[in-house]
Amino acid sequence: MVAKVIDGKAFAANVRGQVAGHVAKLKADKGITPGLAVVLVGEDPASKVYVKNKHASTIEVGMESFEHRLPAETSEADLLALIHRLNGDPAVHGILVQLPLPKHLDSELIINSIDPAKDVDGFHISNVGLLGTGQKSMVPCTPLGCLMMLRDHHGSLAGMNAVVVGRSNIVGKPMAQLLLGDSCTVTIAHSRTKDLAEVCKRADILVAAVGRPEMITGDMVKPGATVIDVGINRIERDGKAKLVGDVHYDSAAAVAGAITPVPGGVGPMTIACLLANTLTACCRANGLPEPKGLTA
Ligand SMILES: Nc1nc2c(c(=O)[nH]1)N[C@@H](CN(C=O)c1ccc(C(=O)N[C@@H](CCC(=O)O)C(=O)O)cc1)CN2
């Protein structure tokens, strides 16, 4: 079997197009412009690129972008004061603090200081609890992007066996909750799961979010399964820098029914879903109906 390649770049462009359409209508009909504030602390090179891309994409869909770049030595008190200000700013519908933060800052404390209604990352403990209990919440962008691609590929996911390899708070756990919400039978596996290959091989949907380059190989994939690779690992091969996922692409693609590549799979959906979440937050703040197909 040769797997269908799920084109995340094209899918993300389509989502951004839908968001742009809703934003134009919000502006024309209601005079409302959704606004996203992104906070970057420090000089992490990858984070700087992601924040630059978030700013460009926010502008491209017609939203207001408020960028706050703070020095690495910013104190917790100063960062909390900025978030407090953004929480109270009616022009800001979404707030995102780019991770990772410098080590002297307590990420949990910072994230939990964001107004949950403006927490477009879905990392606030209130949103985690709402998602876990099947209530309306802000949903983390990367898992939301994976869910959208899975729904598009399969239609209904009900009754499918889903295995999520990885138990992080920002991908693995919310991904499992979302799949459960769509009536999958869900297993969360991780690096210490016994007989990991055996567990993975039972999956109709296999989501790899373990953070280990090419750990999931073709012999761990059920023939015809859908493989979603969330990993972004920079490795060196033959003296050259290379970006690979958590899935060994060639061997998995030879067995799977469908697969997301790295780059160009899940990654681009992260920013597209951030824009979708900002639009959702803006609609909720203004008591307007939520955009269809752009939420969980
Ligand atoms: N506050 C947050 N911090 C971080 C998040 C997040 O969702 N919220 N996620 C990641 C970084 N990230 C967005 O912030 C992100 C990662 C990757 C991509 C992407 O498009 N990747 C491309 C490859 C890009 C490359 O060449 O490096 C792909 O996979 O095709 C977008 C956004 C950590 N921090």
What pLDDT, in 10s, does the model give residues 240-268?
Answer: 999 999 999 999 999 999 999 999 999 99
Active site annotation includes 54: yes
Q: How far apart are CA 24 and CA 19, in angstroms?
A: 9
Q: Are residues 174 and 218 in the same domain?
A: yes
Which band of pLDDT confidence, cut at 50, 70 and 90, is reported for residue 90?
very high
114 in Cβ contact with 95 (< 8 Å): yes
Q: Are residues 196 and 162 in the same domain?
A: yes
Q: Are residues 60 and 171 in the same domain?
A: no
Residue 133 lies in a domain: no
Residue 277 lies in a domain: no
Question: Which domain range does residue 79 map to?
Answer: 31-118
Q: Are residues 168 and 52 in the same domain?
A: no
**What pLDDT score was predicted for residue 258?**
98
Query: What CATH number is given to the structural domain containing 36?
Result: 3.40.50.10860
221 in Cβ contact with 206 (< 8 Å): yes
CA distances from 39 to 99, 105, 261, 280 (A): 9, 13, 29, 20
Which band of pLDDT confidence, cut at 50, 70 and 90, is reported for residue 1?
confident
pLDDT in tens, 167-200: 999 999 999 999 999 999 999 999 899 999 999 9
Active site annotation includes 177: no
What's the whole-model pTM score? 0.98
Q: Are residues 146 and 215 in the same domain?
A: yes
Atom of ligand 1 nearest to the CA of 274: 7
Active site annotation includes 121: yes
Lookup result for tokens 């990654």? 267
Decide if pLDDT at 19 tops 80. yes
Residue 231 marked as a ligand binder: no
Phi, psi (deg, nearest 5) at residue 40: -115, 125
> In 3D, which of 210, 209, 232, 225 has the Cα closest to residue 259?
225
Count up the domains in the chain and report the number: 2
Residue 145 marked as a ligand binder: no
Pocket of ligand 1 (CB under 6 A): 50, 96-99, 121, 141-142, 232, 243, 262-264, 267-268, 270-271
Residue 127 lies in a domain: no
Residue 168 marked as a ligand binder: yes
Lookup result for tokens 């990885």? 166
Residue 223 lies in a domain: yes
Q: Are residues 163 and 237 in the same domain?
A: yes
Mean pLDDT of the 6-17 span: 98
**What pLDDT score was predicted for residue 101?**
98
**What pLDDT score was predicted for residue 228?**
99
